[in-house]
Amino acid sequence: MKKNKKDYLVKGILFFAVFLLTYTVINILSLGRAYFYFGMPFEVKIPVIPLFLIIYASSYLLIAMPFFVLKRKNEIRKLIYIYSFIAAISFVIFLIIPAKVVRPAGFEGFMAGLLNLFWGYIDLPYNTMPSLHISLSLAGAYLMRKYFNFAFLLVWVFLIAVSALLIKQHYILDIITGLILSILVIFLFRKWK
């Protein structure tokens, strides 16, 4: 059983490597393209609060946690399939409907500096709809519901969604489509063993 779980952890690492490579290539392909703006007029009034980068960055932890928390090989296999379907559907949407978030400039301070680094080098403003951070976080939370308090995990996903707005990483429509995508893929695999 341990060997099988180790095999799936290796597959998880391979998934993330392929995911990051594909996401980077799609970001590069998005440079200079015409893009769609899905922000609603009132969203420009939502303040930027750089401190929320900490909560947003916690999505990486929530997305990776299931690979270490899930105990059975069928759970890890289901995780890989759900994450892969979410990523594949998102990548196709990114290519067909390139979306971009408009970010303000002129922030000062330590956290603002970190936010500017994040915006400039880690997560470019392209390919925002659906939000992969939200869809993968919700899927990870759902798959860990037997091991952690599900309400706590849902609050965590909610805080990640709020933080995405407060650091101008996503618009509300990006978050909603990320949630819908995750729910649809989870529903697709709900009875899969």
For the record, the structure tokens of 191 come out as 């009875």
Task: Tell me the CA end-to-end span of the chain in Å, nearest whole number.
Answer: 16
**Peptide bond preceding 130 in cis form (omega within 30 of 0):** yes
pLDDT at 3 (0 to 100): 47
Q: Dihedral sign, CA of 177, 127, 158, 80?
A: positive
The upper half-sphere exposure of residue 181, i.e. CA atoms within 13 Å in the direction of its Cβ, equals: 27
For the record, the structure tokens of 84 come out as 């892969």
| Per-residue pLDDT tens listing for the chain (193 residues) | 454 666 767 777 888 888 888 888 887 787 777 888 888 899 888 888 888 888 998 998 999 899 888 888 888 889 989 999 999 999 999 888 888 787 777 666 666 666 666 666 666 677 788 999 999 999 999 999 999 999 999 999 999 999 999 988 899 999 999 999 999 999 999 877 6
C-alpha separations of 167 from 60, 143, 185 in Å:
16, 27, 27
Q: Are 136 and 182 in contact (CB under 8 A)?
A: yes
- Angle of helix 132-143 versus helix 150-166 axis, rounded to 10: 170
Q: What is the 3-state secondary structure (H, E, C) of 28-83?
A: HHHCCCCCECCCCHHHHHCCCCHHHHHHHHHHHHHHHCHHHHCCCHHHHHHHHHHH
pLDDT at 1 (0 to 100): 43
**pTM score:** 0.86
